[in-house]
């Protein structure tokens, strides 16, 4: 599998080489400057999510900061069956996709930096960069134990084993969803995701997830939080503590129990709703009429006020990672709830989280002005269910009521226009992921490095290459 990825990548580099060969800004920079990579992941941030957010936040003629980046390509998502790593699966989850970007290896859904089938732990970019003297950081709006950040540090067979209490059995209303027994410390393993983060050498970990640390570690006695502090982490839980934190100790800042509250929500917490066909239309699709959900505005989520923004966490992480650092760093920044709010059919939530990502990008670009050898990559891990659809059906003149079989939200934008979002991948209480190739952006440092089309694991190899690690 890896061999084939490398082949395709070589082909792509060969094909784009003529475009890139005329450019060389490196001569302007000293080789003694630190080199940094900032990888910004919009979880579920596909072309629909970007267009919905742009239309809402900037208007259809407006421009996200993302749109101005000099590199814009696409990333093809690869996943395989767990029992047969040669058989592709065409729709991914955040665990296997983060594993692709963190380790360069294609694995199966639900796995955190472990190989499909064999359960073999996979070395991550953070493991390798720490050995090479780089600093490292993880910033997310999810719990830091969630799939995307954890794949850069932890190695475990199942993403839901986030804390010691979930290792023997992960249950959902009495239903056994999985287990990580073989990774328990008592079995000679590394323990739960929270324990692995607490034991890590990462310099900055910021996000949500106190619930996974404020509990006894597997051995009993110390809590996972105690273990983290014993391992040298400063423990922060408020925006004020984050602002005041010194650079002398590594940071573990967790600002909410689980996923951090999102910035925007639907009016009075509304989400997408089912259209209400008339009785006659329930009898025949060709009769009667339909009532669509009432339009709504997006409003600030009151819970958001108490937590630091993604931009503030990004600024804190950049400041901490850069202070007195002559080697460089790797920082992963995730806007997690573009995906989570789409699962829950909450378009306002997703829009606010794209805005947070665009603001974090501003911080990254500002930083790169100070340290020009900073490669910024922005991408998504997989695509999502939400579709930008028409407020008026294309078929409204046919007198037959045409409406989605799923759920729809009609949003009034700040400019006073109406924008509709359809969610119709599942009758379940959560929407499904989808399998489209996802956006890939980079700043000017990416112009020589990043082809227009790549396979997601190549992001790992590009990071290694940029930071001067030997080619694998």
**CB nearer its own copies, residue 69 or residue 307:** 69
Which residues, 14 to 53, sit near its own copies by CB under 8 A? Answer: 15-16, 18-19, 22-24, 46-48, 50-51
- Provide, rounded to whole angstroms, the least separation between the CB of residue 211 and its own copies: 22
Provide the CA 170 distance to its chain's centre, in angstroms: 23
**Comparison of 47 and 211: residue with beta carbon closer to its own copies:** 47
Pairing of strands 135-143, 84-89: unpaired
Looking at the Cβ atoms of 196 and 383, the one nearer to its own copies is 383
**The only residue of 85, 222, 430, 449 in contact with its own copies, by rule CB under 8 A:** 430
Q: Does 350 bind its own copies (CB under 8 A)?
A: no
Considering the rule CB under 8 A, would residue 279 count as an interface residue with its own copies?
no
- Determine which residue in the list 27, 28, 175, 279 makes contact with its own copies, applying CB under 8 A: 175
Note whether 340 binds its own copies by CB under 8 A. Answer: no
369-388 residues in contact with its own copies (CB under 8 A) are 383, 385, 387-388
Rule CB under 8 A: choose which of 361, 436, 459, 462 binds its own copies.
436
Among 68, 182, 187, 362, binds its own copies (CB under 8 A): 68
Helix axes 458-466 and 2-20, enclosed angle (nearest 10): 60
First and final C-alpha spacing in the chain: 14
Q: What are phi and psi of 156, to 5 degrees?
A: -160, 155
Among 404, 461, 464, 466, binds its own copies (CB under 8 A): 404
The least distance separating its own copies from the CB of residue 137, rounded to whole angstroms, comes to 28
Residue of 30, 75, 94, 124 with catalytic role: 94
Does 276 help bind its own copies (rule: CB under 8 A)? no
Give yes or no for residue 8 binding its own copies (CB under 8 A): yes
> Cβ–Cβ contacts within 10 Å for residue 15, how many?
12
Counting contacts by CB under 8 A, is residue 76 touching its own copies?
Answer: yes
* Residue 72 found at the interface with its own copies (CB under 8 A): yes
Does position 314 bind its own copies by CB under 8 A?
A: no
- Contact call for residues 51 and 61 (beta carbons, < 8 A): no
Near its own copies by CB under 8 A: residue from 34, 123, 178, 295:
178
DSSP secondary structure string for all residues of 109-165: TT-BSB-TTT--B---HHHHHHHTT-EEEEEEEEETTSHHHHTTT--BS-TT--SGG
Q: Is 426 in the site for its own copies (CB under 8 A)?
A: yes
Q: How many CB atoms lie within 10 A of CB 191?
A: 27
Catalytic residue check, 192: no
> Considering only 128-136, 265-273, 393-401, 459-467, which stretch makes contact with its own copies by CB under 8 A?
393-401
Q: Supply angle C-alpha 373, 376, 377, rounded to 5.
A: 145
Q: Which is nearer to its own copies, 235 or 453 (CB)?
A: 453
Q: Report yes or no: 194 and 164 within 8 Å, Cβ to Cβ.
A: yes
Q: Among 82, 108, 109, 357, which residue sits at the site for its own copies (rule: CB under 8 A)?
A: 109
Q: Which of 248, 326, 428, 471 binds its own copies (CB under 8 A)?
A: 428
Binding residue (CB under 8 A) for its own copies from 35, 54, 250, 263: 54
d(CA 372, CA 33): 9
Is 90 near its own copies (CB under 8 A)? Answer: yes
Q: At what angle do helices 347-370 and 310-322 cross, to 10 degrees?
A: 30
Stretch that binds its own copies, among 116-124, 196-204, 430-438, 461-469 (CB under 8 A): 430-438
What is the spatial distance between Cα 219 and Cα 286, in angstroms, rounded to a whole number? 65
Task: Confirm or reject binding of residue 434 to its own copies (CB under 8 A).
Answer: yes
| H helix or E strand, kind and range, residue 11 | helix 2-20
Q: Are strands 250-254 and 204-208 parallel, antiparallel or unpaired?
A: parallel
Nearest-approach distance from CB 285 to its own copies, in angstroms: 6
Residue 425 binds its own copies, judged by CB under 8 A = yes
- Number of other CB atoms surrounding residue 118 within 10 Å: 10
How many residues touch its own copies (CB under 8 A)? 89
Question: Can you list the positions of beta strands (E) in 175-303?
Answer: 175-178, 204-208, 233-236, 250-254, 264-266, 276-277, 290-291, 298-300
Element (H, E) at 368: helix 347-370
Q: Is 97 a binder of its own copies (CB under 8 A)?
A: no
Number of neighbours of residue 33 by Cβ within 10 angstroms: 13
C-alpha to C-alpha distance for 421 and 56, rounded to whole angstroms: 12
Q: Please pick, from the candidates 424, 459, 462, 467, the single residue that binds its own copies as defined by CB under 8 A.
A: 424
Residues with catalytic function:
94
């Amino acid at each position: 599998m890896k061999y084939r990825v490398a082949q395709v990548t070589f082909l792509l580099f060969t094909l784009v080489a003529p475009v890139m060969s005329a450019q060389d800004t490196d001569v302007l920079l000293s080789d003694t400057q630190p080199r940094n990579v900032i990888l910004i992941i919009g979880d579920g941030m596909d072309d629909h999510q970007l267009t919905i957010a742009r239309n809402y936040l900037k208007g259809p003629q407006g421009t996200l900061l993302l749109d101005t980046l000099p590199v814009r390509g696409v990333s093809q998502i690869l996943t395989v069956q767990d029992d047969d790593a040669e058989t592709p699966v065409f729709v991914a989850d955040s665990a296997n996709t983060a594993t692709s970007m963190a380790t360069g290896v294609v694995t199966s859904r639900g796995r955190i930096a472990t190989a499909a089938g064999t359960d073999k732990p996979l070395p991550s970019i953070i493991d390798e960069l720490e050995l090479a003297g780089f600093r490292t950081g993880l910033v997310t709006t999810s719990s830091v134990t969630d799939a995307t950040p954890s794949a850069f540090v932890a190695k475990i067979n199942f993403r839901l084993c986030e804390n010691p209490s979930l290792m023997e059995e992960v249950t959902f209303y009495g239903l056994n969803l999985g287990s990580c027994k073989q990774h328990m410390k008592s079995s000679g393993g590394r323990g739960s995701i929270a324990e692995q983060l607490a034991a890590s050498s990462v310099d900055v970990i910021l996000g949500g997830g106190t619930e996974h640390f404020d509990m006894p570690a597997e051995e009993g006695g110390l809590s996972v939080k105690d273990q983290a502090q014993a391992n040298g982490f400063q423990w922060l839980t408020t925006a004020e503590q984050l602002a005041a934190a010194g650079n002398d100790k590594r940071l573990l800042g967790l600002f909410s129990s689980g996923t951090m509250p999102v910035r925007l929500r639907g009016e009075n917490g509304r989400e997408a709703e089912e259209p209400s066909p008339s009785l006659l239309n329930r009898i025949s699709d060709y009769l009667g009429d339909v009532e669509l959900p009432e339009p709504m505005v997006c409003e600030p989520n009151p819970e958001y006020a108490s937590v630091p923004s993604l931009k503030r966490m990004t600024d804190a992480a950049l400041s901490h990672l850069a202070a007195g650092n002559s080697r460089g760093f790797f920082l992963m920044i995730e806007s997690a709830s573009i995906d989570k709010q789409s699962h829950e059919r909450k378009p306002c939530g997703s829009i606010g989280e794209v805005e947070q990502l665009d603001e974090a990008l501003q911080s990254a670009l500002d930083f790169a002005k100070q340290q020009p050898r900073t490669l910024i990559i922005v991408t998504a891990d997989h695509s999502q269910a939400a579709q930008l659809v028409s407020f008026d059906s294309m078929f409204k003149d046919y007198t037959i009521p045409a409406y989605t079989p799923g759920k729809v939200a009609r949003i009034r934008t700040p400019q006073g226009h109406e924008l509709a979002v359809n969610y119709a991948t599942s009758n379940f209480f959560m929407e499904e992921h989808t399998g489209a190739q996802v956006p890939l952006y980079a700043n000017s440092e990416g112009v020589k490095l990043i082809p227009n089309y790549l396979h997601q694991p190549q992001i790992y190899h590009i990071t290694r290459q940029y930071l001067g690690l030997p080619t694998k």
